[in-house]
Amino acid sequence: MNTEYTNEQIIELVTGILETADENLVLPIVQLGHPLLRQRAIPYTGQLEQPLLEELLEAMRQTMYDAPGVGLAAPQVGIPLQIAVLEDLYPIPESIASEREREPLEYFEIFNPTYTAASERTAEFYEGCLSFEGFQGVVTRPADITATYNDRDGEAHTQSFSGWQARIVQHETDHLSGTVYIDKAKTRSLINETELWRHENMDVATAKKVLNF
């Protein structure tokens, strides 16, 4: 489902949502069950004047930091536009970084993104979502992708991502088509984060034995 909006409606919606931000520009994050999480967002075609766009992007960035998370899509703050912000610079143990093929991901923004698998390699790991708080599930995804997207100035980019970076890009791009990670997760792997931490961040192989999936 792709609901049509006029530019005026988008401007009014974005302006209203930005008014809900706190003093640190942090916006409320909508949770699973909100209809925008199940709709294809509309392409960004310059509906917002530059100052309003910049205010939205900064609010999304601060909301991502506050959560904290490594990505945030516009529908997660109630805005039906194909925009997402991404960054992963959190310190993690070297052993986990190696297992996940995780390299630091500098902050960037994607508008109207798409991705395709760039190899036959796949990887499965636990994922969580700021719009489905408290749970994680195992998702198998392409380990190498080619992504296309525009930046805030409308310039087109084609970029390759691998490992954990590829997973983040796929997760956020999926949000913009109305897909949440649990749609792709192994349902028996779903675990409350309290249990995940109790098992000391158990890896997927251990989880398969414990949860029988």
* Residue 162 φ then ψ, to 5°: -135, 160
Give the residue carrying structure tokens 């699973």: 32
Q: Which of 172, 193, 195, 200 is catalytic?
A: 172
Distance between CA atoms of 76 and 178, rounded to whole angstroms? 10
Contact (Cβ atoms closer than 8 angstroms) between residue 41 and residue 75: yes
Give the residue carrying structure tokens 């390699």: 121
Contact (Cβ atoms closer than 8 angstroms) between residue 139 and residue 181: yes
Give the residue carrying structure tokens 């760039």: 118
157 annotated ligand binder: no
Is residue 172 flagged as an active site residue? yes
Give the distance from CA 170 to its chain's centroid: 8
Give the tokens for residue 135: 């749970």
Distance between CA atoms of 34 and 37, rounded to whole angstroms? 6
Nearest to residue 71, comparing CAs of 52, 90, 92, 99?
A: 90
- CA distance readout (Å), 22 to 17, 26, 67, 130: 11, 5, 13, 18
199 annotated ligand binder: no
129 annotated ligand binder: yes
Catalytic residues, by residue number, are 172
